[in-house]
Amino acid sequence: MELRHLRCFLAVAEELHFARAAELLHIEQSPLSRAIKELEENLGAQLFLRTTKSTRLTRAGRMLCRSASDCAAVSAILLPRFLASWPASRHRDRAC
């Protein structure tokens, strides 16, 4: 599972609409759908009930939504703090 999968999942869970979620993420709908499919395969659970007229969270989707929201909030804080405290000259590993 990758953080990008969780971001995609949270956008769809918030919008309950793939096209609007893709727009929110500034990506095409196809890569968004692919990310959700990969996440569902990785977890072994269907996260959304999709019809031509609606998208709803499954029970597994609702459970993941709570945990994914916490994870996204932590990552939004963690990365900027890390980058601010880590000197730019050390961002890349150097071979000896």
Q: Where are the domains of the chain?
A: 3-82
pLDDT, position 88: 63
Closest residue by Cα to residue 34 from 66, 77, 5: 5
Distance in angstroms (rounded) separating the CA atoms of residues 93 and 95: 7
**Quick one: average pLDDT of 45-72?**
90
Residue 31 pLDDT exceeds 60: yes
Distance in angstroms (rounded) separating the CA atoms of residues 87 and 33: 37
User: Residues 76, 80, 81, 86: is their CA dihedral positive or negative?
Assistant: positive
User: Is the model more confident about 39 or about 89?
Assistant: 39
Strand, coil or helix: 56: strand
pLDDT, position 84: 83
Residue 55 pLDDT exceeds 70: yes
Strand, coil or helix: 84: helix
Residue 49 pLDDT exceeds 60: yes
- Which residues are within 8 A (CB) of 36 and not within 5 positions of it... i.e. 6 or more apart? 5, 8, 9, 12, 18, 47, 48
pLDDT, position 15: 96
Q: Which CATH topology does 3-82 take?
A: Arc Repressor Mutant, subunit A (1.10.10)
For 42-45, the CB contacts below 8 A with 24+ separation are 42/1, 42/5, 43/1
User: Is the model more confident about 81 or about 63?
Assistant: 63
- Give residue-wise pLDDT tens across range 4-20: 899 999 999 999 999 99
